[in-house]
Amino acid sequence: MTPHAPGVTERYLLSPDMIADPYGHLDALRDHAPVHWSPLHHAWLVTGHDQVMRCLRDPAVSADRVRPLMDAVPQGAREDAERAFGILSRWMVFNDPPRHRRLRQVFQEAFAARAVARYRAFTEKATRAVLARRAVPGRTGDLLADVARPLPALVFARWLGIPPADGPSFWYWNTRVADLVLGTAQEESEYRASLQALVSLDDYLGALVARRRATPGDDLISQVLREGRVGDSVSEEEFTGMLTQMAFAGGETTSNLIANTVLALHTRPGQLAAVRADPELARGAVEETLRLDGPSKMSIRTAARDLDLDGRTLRAGDRIFLVTAAANRDPARFPDPGRFDVRRSGATHLGFGFGAHFCIGAALARLVAVAAVRTLVCDHPGLTLAGPGRPAWQPSLLNRALTALPVRY
């Protein structure tokens, strides 16, 4: 193992300055050693685009990280953990082929772009309704709380078939599950709340599946049940477990994507003006945010067996951080990579991953984010950033998420 990349000082990725802006350090690390053993993080940091792609393709690099998550739980909360981590073990993102492929195929049709397009009219209507209530001209507020969180919640609840009356409990459980999966739970009481929330969410969705069997509706659960794979290629327990992943992932990622895109545009007047002049460029703005400052900074993997990567030997059991936040700024792949350009074309970013683990909900996240950004930019020309100082970011290794985005509408 190489103790240090030459010319690069080891930095703790959860330190306040790295949370605020990790990109300068990650760029330097990628340029000096795109595969680097970090004693501080007890992990390999893979920052080059080609190297990240190789890991995403290599079956020796495993997505199974349920055990490390369980190991982080304080001893006093372990008694609550067994069922919760059994649920996590059924999430697609924590499984390798062939089980991952079997689980994913159940949702393939429901997540296809043509199926997601059915929700376009509802999404645009929901966007206008949320903005009419929250984005009153002249009012100051928090765009994250006012728009970026409630809009995906509305769309994803409709898509999953969550009755409106159940919304508050459903989204509370999702927030607590995020604390567990993203590593923001710290105290024993927080772990207990997160573990119980995951169990409650699984119980709720299991009951909802039973109701949809008896009375089908126009929603994801009913659609998948009609296709006949539940009880055949996957068990009902596996299906419900995967629904808890869908519930968690959809709202969190899309909320952060909306907020990060609005921030990116309002700190770049020329790009903002371009989108206002051509609203179709809202799609380009969302894609550039996914590349340059997206909601995901990295994904965590484990070496299933010894492998060689860029002349380094990764041993079985080693943790691997696939730092897509650095790979998406690799000058070997993206010309002028630090420039935000809503008209950028060419190389495909890794903001939604790649290959077998490409985000299955990408089409729906894009649909909601583009609708929100286009409406905010084009129908609210008076929108400006407010509040003193730089925006604050949540302390997370995995997510790039604002704590708030103060604005004047």
Q: How does the average pLDDT of the chain come out, rounded?
A: 92
**Percent share of the chain, pLDDT over 70:** 98
d(CA 221, CA 213): 9
pLDDT digits (tens, 9 = 90+) for 361-409: 999 999 999 999 999 999 999 999 997 788 999 999 999 999 999 999 9
d(CA 393, CA 161): 32
Q: Which domains does the chain have, with CATH numbers?
A: 1-76+297-350 (3.30.43.20)
For residue 30, pLDDT over 50 is answered with: yes
pLDDT digits (tens, 9 = 90+) for 254-310: 999 999 999 999 999 999 999 999 999 999 999 999 999 999 999 999 999 999 999
Which of 267, 226, 254 is CA-nearest to residue 363? 254
pLDDT digits (tens, 9 = 90+) for 114-165: 889 989 999 999 999 999 999 889 999 999 999 999 999 999 999 999 999 9
Note the maximum CA span of the chain: 64
Q: What is the pLDDT of residue 182?
A: 80
Residue 128 burial (CB count, 10 A): 13
Residue 251's pLDDT band, with cuts at 50, 70 and 90, is confident
Q: What is the pLDDT of residue 90?
A: 94
Residue 80's pLDDT band, with cuts at 50, 70 and 90, is low
Pair 274, 343: CB distance under 8 Å: yes
Q: What is the pLDDT of residue 72?
A: 77
**Percent share of the chain, pLDDT over 90:** 79
Q: What is the pLDDT of residue 94?
A: 93
Q: What is the pLDDT of residue 2?
A: 45
Q: What is the pLDDT of residue 78?
A: 75
For residue 340, pLDDT over 80 is answered with: yes
Residue 333 burial (CB count, 10 A): 18
The more confident residue out of 3 and 257 is: 257
Residue 3's pLDDT band, with cuts at 50, 70 and 90, is very low
Most confident of 168-172, 175-179, 254-258, 384-388: 254-258
